[in-house]
Amino acid sequence: MNTSTVPAPRQRVLSGMQPSGSSLHLGNYLGALVHWVRMQDEYDAIYFIPDLHAITVPQDPAELASRTRVTAAQYIASGVDVEKCTLFVQSQVPEHAQLAWVLNCLTGFGEASRMTQFKDKSLKQGADSTTVGLFTYPILQAADILLYQPEGVPVGEDQRQHVELSRDLAQRFNTRFGPVFVVPKPFIQKESAKIYDLQNPTAKMSKSAGSPSGLINLMDEPKVTAKRIKSAVTDDGAEIRFDRGEKPGISNLLTIYSLLTGKNVDDVVGHFEGRMYGHLKVELADVVVDHLEPIRTRALELLADQAELDRLLNVGAEKARSIASVTLADVFAKVGFLPAHTHDSAGAP
Ligand code: ATP
Ligand code: LTN
C-alpha cells in the first residue's frame, strides 16, 4: 500500500461557550467563533454548549432552553459546520457529570479555592448566593475536556488557569491509576484581538457589562447595530489613528473594521486619512451590518425549524457520546467500579 496517500490523523481540539445571554456579541464572534470556524478545516474539532456550567448561577428554565438553541443557531450561522465538526449540548452527554464526580474526588479543596474566576465571581456575588456548583465549575470543565482526549483547547487568556487544572488532573489520574488521558494544551489565540465596549472602550465587550449600548449582538436588528456604532464614544482630538492608550475608542473601531474586512489596521488608517470620526463610524456601521445580517438571518431560519435544530444537536450528542463513553468506561474500570452490564453505561463489556 502506498502510505503517502494515507492522511495523517488530525489533532483534536475542543471548546465551548456558555449559553448565558440571549445573543452572542461581537467579542465572542471575533474572539472565539471565527477561530472555531477556521479550525474545523484543520483539526478534528469538537464544540459544545456548556449548559451544565450555565446553571452554576440561577437560570430561568424556559430561558435556558431558548438560549441554548439560540447559541447553537448562532454557532452554525457563523459557519460552524456540523458535517465537519462535532457540535453538541453538554447536558445531553451524561458522561460529563459522571467524569466530573471522579475528578472532584481527585481535586484538593485548596487547589479548587485558588481558581481566580471563582474567587472573583464569588466575591462579587457574596458567599450566600455562591453555589458549590460554581466552586466545582473548573472541575466540570476538566471533565468536558479530558473525556475527548484533545491535544488543544482553544480559549481566551481568562481560561488558561482552568485548562492548566485539567492538565494537572489528567497527569494525576494517569499517575495514580494508569494512563487514560491525553494531557491537553491551552491554545490561546494570541493574535486574536480583544474587542472593547463601545461605551467604555477600556473594558472588554461583555454580556455582563453595565449597559447594552456598549454591545454589538449577533441577534440584534441591523438598525440597532448601526445606531450603537454611530453612538460609540470616541476620543479627544479628530485624527483617526491607532493608539490604544490615547485613543481607545477609535482604536477599537479600527480593530473591528480591520477584522471584518480582512484589511490590516495600517491600511484602514490610511483609508480614513484626513477624514473625521463620523466617517469611520458611518462606514463601519455598514461593514458590521453587512457582515452580521446574513448570520442573524440564518440563525433565525434555523430557530424557525426547532425540530431540525434539535435533531442536529442530537446527532452531535450521539457522536460525542461515542467518544466520551469509551473514555469514561476506561476511567471507571481503572478506579475500581464494577462493570454495569447495560449497553449505555460505562463498563459495558
Ligand atoms: P462575560 O459576561 O462572563 O464576560 P462574555 O460573553 O463576555 O461573558 P465569555 O463567555 O467569558 O464572554 O467568553 C466566551 C468566549 O468569547 C471566550 O473564548 C472569550 O475569550 C471570547 N470573548 C469574550 N469577550 C470577548 C471580547 N470582548 N473580545 C474578544 N474575545 C472575547
Ligand atoms: N469556561 C468556559 C466555557 C467552557 C469551556 C469548557 C471551554 C466550559 N467547558 C471546556 C473550553 C473547554 C468559558 O467561560 N469560556
Tell me which ligand sits closest to the C-alpha of residue 163.
2
Percent of the chain with pLDDT strictly greater than 90:
87
pLDDT tens-digit profile of 218-273?
Answer: 999 999 999 999 999 998 899 999 999 999 999 999 999 999 999 999 999 999 99
Per the annotation, the verdict on 185 as an active-site residue is: no
Cβ-contact 100, 60 below 8 angstroms: no
State how far the Cα of 329 lies from the Cα of 331, in Å rounded to an integer: 5
Per the annotation, the verdict on 204 as an active-site residue is: yes
pLDDT tens-digit profile of 285-318?
Answer: 999 999 999 999 999 999 999 999 999 999 999 9
For residue 285, what are the β-bridge partners? none
Q: How far is CA 326 from the centre of its chain?
A: 25
State how far the Cα of 83 lies from the Cα of 316, in Å rounded to an integer: 10
189, pLDDT greater than 90 = no
Mean pLDDT along residues 5-19: 89
pTM over 0.95: no
Sign of torsion, CA 292 294 300 302?
negative
Q: Which of 194, 207, 319, 334 is catalytic?
A: 207
User: What length is written for the chain?
Assistant: 349
277, pLDDT greater than 60 = yes
191, pLDDT greater than 80 = no
321, pLDDT greater than 50 = yes
349, pLDDT greater than 50 = no
342, pLDDT greater than 70 = no
Confidence of residue 344 (pLDDT cuts 50, 70, 90): low
Q: Whose CA is nearest to atom 11 of ligand 2?
A: 15
**Ligand 1 centre distance from Cα of residue 26 (Å):** 9
Mean pLDDT along residues 196-216: 92
Q: Is 341 exposed, middle or buried (0-12, 13-18, 19+ CB in 10 A)?
A: exposed
Helices first, then strands: H and E counts in the chain: 14, 5
**Ligand 2 centre distance from Cα of residue 262 (Å):** 27
Percent of the chain with pLDDT strictly greater than 70:
96
Q: Is 183 left (phi over 0), alpha (psi -120 to 50) or beta?
A: beta
Q: Which of 121, 185, 194, 263 is catalytic?
A: 121
Could you write out the three-class secondary structure of 266-307? HHHHHHCCCCCHHHHHHHHHHHHHHHHHHHHHHHHHHHHCHH
5, pLDDT greater than 80 = no
127, pLDDT greater than 70 = yes
Tell me which ligand sits closest to the C-alpha of residue 159.
2
Across all residues in the chain, what is the average pLDDT?
A: 94
**Ligand 2 centre distance from Cα of residue 137 (Å):** 9
